[in-house]
Chain A
């Protein structure tokens, strides 16, 4: 926020310019690139430029304003995509929230107990090397066995859980660094006030961790979105953007612009998630004074 100091309008303009440049590059390559793509040896380095592989930008946009199935009188494509986007965003938000809470708790425990740090940290790092595709069916199967009273585990919860599995990692690492960031000076000052660990955590360590926490929250949001989209596919949850991408990809042969619509939707979800974290950052401006040395 304070880094560029440029007015909001200017930054929005620059952002829009980036999209325009991207579209221009796309069209330029499509017009000038070889129809068979650029192939080095057996390796395709750049894609083919056919309408099938690379639809025109305006075709992709226009497709958003036609019904989902070209023939029927379905709802508009953009409506369907938006609906799916919000569904996925909701699931991702739940996953993000769970991930942030778990990540913070882990960081606090690791900061409190040195031995916990040595015991937990390797496993936390290791946890992220497990491929999502591998755990998705497991989570689904375990979840289906949970039934407590009127509560029963649903598929969207499995997706949210997997999203949180990706989201908690940056939070726990970032928060741990943040919690350990206060100067010895400050920690000793708290000791001279003879206040306990809890007061030191609340008054010193948590506020000091904010500059480390915000980038972690942003990463967690991105991870939660990716986790949601991928888990929707591997668990087979209907209604979200992930499932939509797979379904529409099948239609690519006859309607090449169609698969791009949910991809735009995924981009929108990512932008919204990043925007929410930016708002959190704005609310915590007071704790970020250290970021720009006066």
Chain B
């Protein structure tokens, strides 16, 4: 299958443990009426430290479920998930990852700064260290002038930037993002993508990014994982080689290599051309 370790674009194993390593992961939601729903089936995925991987697929393909399993917000019914060589649960307890959802999810009664400081505060980081870290992050997301504003005084894009800053507060090696730009308008969205690429380059964190948007996935990622629904499984892993962050400016969105990758993901998503018979054969097995 295309999900095997030999898939194109699979990073060469290093001495460091993988950021995420999912083996044979399945998730079945038991419903009361007895009709169980298989959200995920036989998912194998390895993500290297510092790598940016997008999960893309139609609604109900289990991409958000996979993210939630990695975050230990749910537990798999079969298979195992490791994050930096630890169980997902231990990784959560050790704060190995930061997370951002589609809703920014800021606490309305806290200022921008103290929202960013929330995880630090909860983990008993000293006041001075907190202030230093939040100033750093505010600068990173370009919101230094808004430190003392409240979330309801910010635009949607700004709120999402605060949420990203918050997810980076404890310098995690892994960032989990569930359609963080899904509610933003197209212009803001593209600007946020450019910023995210820069932020990831600066922090060196691995990212698992759930999205509906093909151009978004292609623009951001080192690899795009294409998923299919009912039951959710990985259909294809497409390596996107658009160069490192420094080179990924706005011009890239109009480059040929960008379009080629978009086409490749598109075709995989719709399950058509480019070796379609073989792919179908795999699917039906």
Q: Which residues of A contact B (CB under 8 A)?
A: 183, 185-186, 188-195, 199, 203-204, 207, 210, 286-287, 289-290, 293-294
B182 part of interface (Cβ distance < 8 Å): no
Binds A, one of B1-9, B55-63, B100-108, B133-141: B100-108
16 pairs, CB–CB < 8 Å, chain A vs chain B:
A183-B103, A190-B122, A191-B92, A192-B72, A192-B97, A193-B118, A193-B119, A203-B121, A203-B122, A210-B109, A287-B109, A289-B109, A289-B152, A290-B108, A290-B152, A293-B152
For B99, what are the chain A residues with a Cβ–Cβ distance below 8 Å?
Answer: 189, 192
Once the chains are docked, how many angstroms separate the CA of A38 from the CA of B108?
55
Contact B92 A192 (CB under 8 A): yes
Contact B73 A203 (CB under 8 A): no
A interface, by DSSP: helix, strand, loop or mixed?
Answer: helix
For B97, what are the chain A residues with a Cβ–Cβ distance below 8 Å?
Answer: 192
For A183, what are the chain B residues with a Cβ–Cβ distance below 8 Å?
Answer: 103, 105
Q: Which residues of B contact A (CB under 8 A)?
A: 71-73, 92-93, 95, 97, 99, 101, 103, 105, 107-109, 118-119, 121-123, 150-153
Once the chains are docked, how many angstroms separate the CA of A294 from the CA of B101?
21
For B119, what are the chain A residues with a Cβ–Cβ distance below 8 Å?
Answer: 193
Additional 16 contacts, C-beta under 8 A, given A183-B103, A193-B95, A290-B152: A185-B101, A185-B103, A188-B73, A191-B73, A191-B92, A192-B71, A192-B97, A193-B122, A193-B123, A203-B121, A204-B107, A287-B109, A289-B108, A289-B109, A289-B151, A289-B152
Once the chains are docked, how many angstroms separate the CA of A273 from the CA of B203?
55
Contact B107 A294 (CB under 8 A): no
Contact B118 A286 (CB under 8 A): no
Q: Which 8 A-B pairs have the closest CB atoms?
A: A294-B152, A185-B105, A287-B109, A289-B108, A194-B93, A290-B108, A195-B122, A192-B99
CB distance from A2 to the nearest CB of B (A): 12
Contact A199 B122 (CB under 8 A): yes
For B92, what are the chain A residues with a Cβ–Cβ distance below 8 Å?
Answer: 191-192, 194
Once the chains are docked, how many angstroms separate the CA of A185 from the CA of B100?
10
For A189, what are the chain B residues with a Cβ–Cβ distance below 8 Å?
Answer: 99, 101, 105
Once the chains are docked, how many angstroms separate the CA of A96 from the CA of B58?
55
Closest chain B residue, CB of each to CB of A294:
B152
Contact B150 A289 (CB under 8 A): yes
Contact B152 A192 (CB under 8 A): no
CB distance from A125 to the nearest CB of B (A): 28
Query: Which of A186, A194, A195 is close to B107, meaning CB atoms less than 8 Å apart?
Result: A186
Closest chain A residue, CB of each to CB of B106:
A186
For A294, what are the chain B residues with a Cβ–Cβ distance below 8 Å?
Answer: 152-153
- Most chain A CB within a 10 A radius of its CB, from B93, B109, B121, B123: B109
Once the chains are docked, how many angstroms separate the CA of A195 from the CA of B92?
10
Closest chain A residue, CB of each to CB of B105:
A185
CB distance from A43 to the nearest CB of B (A): 52
Contact A207 B109 (CB under 8 A): yes
For A195, what are the chain B residues with a Cβ–Cβ distance below 8 Å?
Answer: 122
Once the chains are docked, how many angstroms separate the CA of A204 from the CA of B121?
13
Contact B152 A186 (CB under 8 A): no
Once the chains are docked, how many angstroms separate the CA of A210 from the CA of B99?
27
For B109, what are the chain A residues with a Cβ–Cβ distance below 8 Å?
Answer: 207, 210, 286-287, 289-290
For A194, what are the chain B residues with a Cβ–Cβ distance below 8 Å?
Answer: 92-93, 95
For B72, what are the chain A residues with a Cβ–Cβ distance below 8 Å?
Answer: 192
For B101, what are the chain A residues with a Cβ–Cβ distance below 8 Å?
Answer: 185, 188-189
